[in-house]
Amino acid sequence: MPYKVEIANTKSNNEFLQKLPKEILPEFAKRLNILGVKPYLGRSVEGPISAYIYAFPLNHMNKVYNFLVSYKINENKEIITITDFGKTIINYS
Amino acid sequence: MKKFNKNAQILKYIIEHLSAKLGRTHLIKLVYLADYHSRRLFGNPVSTFDYYYDKQGPFNKEFYPCVESLKGYVKEEEINFSFYKGYLFHNISKKIEYKQLSQYDLYILDYVINTYGKANLQSLLEDVVYKTEPMLEVVKKRTFKSKLPMDIVDNLDKKHYEGLSPENMVDSEKAIFEGKTQPLEEVLSALQG
C-alpha cells in the first residue's frame, strides 16, 4: 500500500498553493503522489530540523517551474506530510 | 508574577527539563549550543549573551547574575569534591512565563536539550563545543578571553534546505503535532474547483 500524502495546514503552505496556476495542479499532484509510492525518494537532511527534500521540474506555458518540497515521513502511520514548498521559475528564451 | 529577562527564561527552561542533571559549565554550554544552532538555522541567536574564550570554552560572566535572578525558581546545590567545588541545578516547581521565547527559540532549545542534555560534559566540550566554528577560530588565533565571532555561522544551515524556509518547516511540524494536516488530493481538488 502506498503511503498517504498529506500537507501541513499552515498559512505559508496555503498561500503557496493558492498562487499556483490551476492548469498545472493535476501534474503537480501526480509528482507529489510519487512520494507515497517511493517515500525515500527525497534527499535526507539531518540536524535541528530533520526532513527530506524532493525537487522536480514542471513545464507550463513556455516556463519551467523547478519545484522543491520538504517532507516528513511517519513510518508507523505510513504518512508523508509536506512541510514546505518552494519554487523557481525559468522562462524559455 | 515576577518578570524575567529572556536569558533567565532560557536558563529556567533548560533547568526545568534537565533538573539535577546539570552544573554551571554544562548549562552555559547548552545555551551556547542553542545560540550556535539558532544562528546556523535562522540567522539569529536565542539568547542575548556574547561569548568569550575562557578556560572551558565559551563563557560570559553575565551568566552569574542571570542565575542569581532565578533564586526561588531554581536551586543551585553546592557539591564539594576533594580539590574543587561543583554545582548542580535543581528545578523548583514554581513556574515562570516564557513570554520572550518564540516557537523557533523553543524548537531549538528542545533540540539542544534532547541532543546534548544528557551528554558527558567532557565529550560535549571536546567533541562538540570545541569543534564549532567560532571556537575553532579563537583557538586557532590563540586569542584567549577574546569574543567569539558567532556571526560567522549565521544562516549556514539554510543551504541544506536549498531555499526552503526553516521557519515554515517548524510551523509545519507544529501543525503536524496538533493534527492540522490535510490529504493532498483533497487540497488540490478544492483548488481546482
- With a CB cutoff of 8 Å and minimum separation 6, the contacts of A34 are A41
Enclosing H/E stretch for B116: helix B103-116
Q: Residue B109: its pLDDT value, please?
A: 98
- With a CB cutoff of 8 Å and minimum separation 6, the contacts of B64 are none
Q: How many CB pairs under 8 A join A and B?
A: 112
Residue A60 distance to chain B (closest CA, Å): 16
| Cβ contacts of A53 on chain B, cutoff 8 Å | 161-162, 164
Q: Which of B36, B44, B188 to mutate to test the interface with A (most CBs of A within 10 A)?
A: B188
What are the 10-residue block averages of pLDDT along chain B, 193 residues in total? 94 97 96 98 97 95 95 93 87 96 98 96 96 97 94 94 94 97 94 81
Of A8, A12, A32, the CB nearest to B181: A8
Range A4-91 has CATH code 3.30.2310.20: yes
**Distance separating alpha carbons of residues A45 and B169, to the nearest angstrom:** 12
Q: Which of A83, A88, A89 to mutate to test the interface with B (most CBs of B within 10 A)?
A: A83
As beta bridge partners, residue B147 has: B52
Q: Nearest chain B Cα to A46, which residue?
A: B160
* Contact between residue A87 and residue A77 where contact means Cβ atoms under 8 Å apart: no
Residue-wise pLDDT tens digits, A6-25: 999 999 999 999 999 999 99
Provide the residue ranges of all domains of chain A, joining segments of one domain with +.
4-91
Q: Residue A92: its pLDDT value, please?
A: 66
| Cβ contacts of B180 on chain A, cutoff 8 Å | 8-10
Angle in degrees, 0-180, between the axes of helices A11-18 and B184-192, rounded to the nearest 10: 40
Cα distances (Å, whole numbers) of residue B69 to B10, B27, B51, B74: 12, 15, 20, 10
Contact B184 A5 (CB under 8 A): yes
Is the complex ipTM higher than 0.85?
yes
Burial environment of residue B138 by CB neighbours within 10 A (0 to 12, 13 to 18, 19 or more)? buried
The percentage of chain B sitting over the pLDDT mark of 90, rounded to a whole number, equals: 87
Enclosing H/E stretch for B88: strand B85-91
Three-state secondary-structure class, residue B133 = helix
Q: How distant is the alpha carbon of residue B38 from its chain centre?
A: 8
Q: Residue B82: its pLDDT value, please?
A: 79
Q: Residue B96: its pLDDT value, please?
A: 95
Q: How distant is the alpha carbon of residue A47 from its chain centre?
A: 20
Residue-wise pLDDT tens digits, B62-108: 999 999 999 999 999 988 887 888 889 999 999 999 999 999 999 99
- The secondary structure of A76-93 as a DSSP string is TTTEEEEEEEEEEEEE--
pTM of the shown model: 0.92
Burial environment of residue B29 by CB neighbours within 10 A (0 to 12, 13 to 18, 19 or more)? buried
* Cell (9 digits) for A52: 527530506
* Contact between residue A72 and residue B161 where contact means Cβ atoms under 8 Å apart: no
